[in-house]
């Protein structure tokens, strides 16, 4: 079984919607994501010392365990395309979140 992390840098659509963004992200998005086979944990972080100029002040780190590390991401996209996830207008999409998938090295 391979192990890795999927990292996502994101931001609320507007500073006035930060609470709504955090409620959706932690209360809806993370549980839906963790329901996908292969995702085993999630942690969220907020940039400290931000003067308001950061374009992506939030970071989510998801641990993945799967033979094909990209498979859980494909399943997540499939579910989203079929309406199996809950989007939020509180998530800023312009610029879009920054994502990356890393494999654990032994």
In this predicted model, what pLDDT tens digit does every residue of 30-42 receive, in sequence order? Answer: 999 999 999 999 9
SS3 call for 45? strand
In this predicted model, what pLDDT tens digit does every residue of 55-100 receive, in sequence order? Answer: 999 999 999 999 999 999 999 999 999 999 999 999 999 999 999 9
Element (H, E) at 24: helix 18-24
In this predicted model, what pLDDT tens digit does every residue of 42-54 receive, in sequence order? Answer: 999 999 987 878 8
pTM summary value: 0.94
Output the six-digit token pair for 92. Answer: 């800023």
**Confidence (pLDDT) at 51:** 82
**Confidence (pLDDT) at 56:** 96
d(CA 85, CA 62): 17
Residue 24: band (very low, low, confident or very high) from pLDDT cuts 50, 70, 90: very high
For each of the domains in the chain, give its residue range(s) and CATH number, in order of start: 2-103 (3.30.70.100)
The sign of the dihedral angle between the CA atoms of 8, 19, 28, 30 is positive
Query: Tokens 């995702």 label which residue?
Result: 39
Query: Tokens 């610029």 label which residue?
Result: 95
């Amino acid at each position: 079984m391979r192990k890795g992390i999927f990292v996502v840098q994101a931001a609320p659509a507007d500073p006035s919607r930060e609470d709504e963004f955090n409620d959706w992200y932690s209360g809806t998005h993370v549980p839906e994501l963790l329901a996908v086979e292969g995702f085993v944990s999630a942690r969220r972080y907020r940039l400290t010392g931000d003067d308001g100029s950061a374009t992506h002040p939030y970071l989510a780190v998801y641990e993945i365990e799967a033979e094909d590390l990209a498979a859980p991401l494909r399943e997540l996209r499939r579910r989203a395309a079929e309406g199996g996830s809950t989007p939020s207008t509180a998530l800023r999409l312009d610029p879009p979140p920054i994502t990356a998938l890393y494999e654990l090295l032994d």
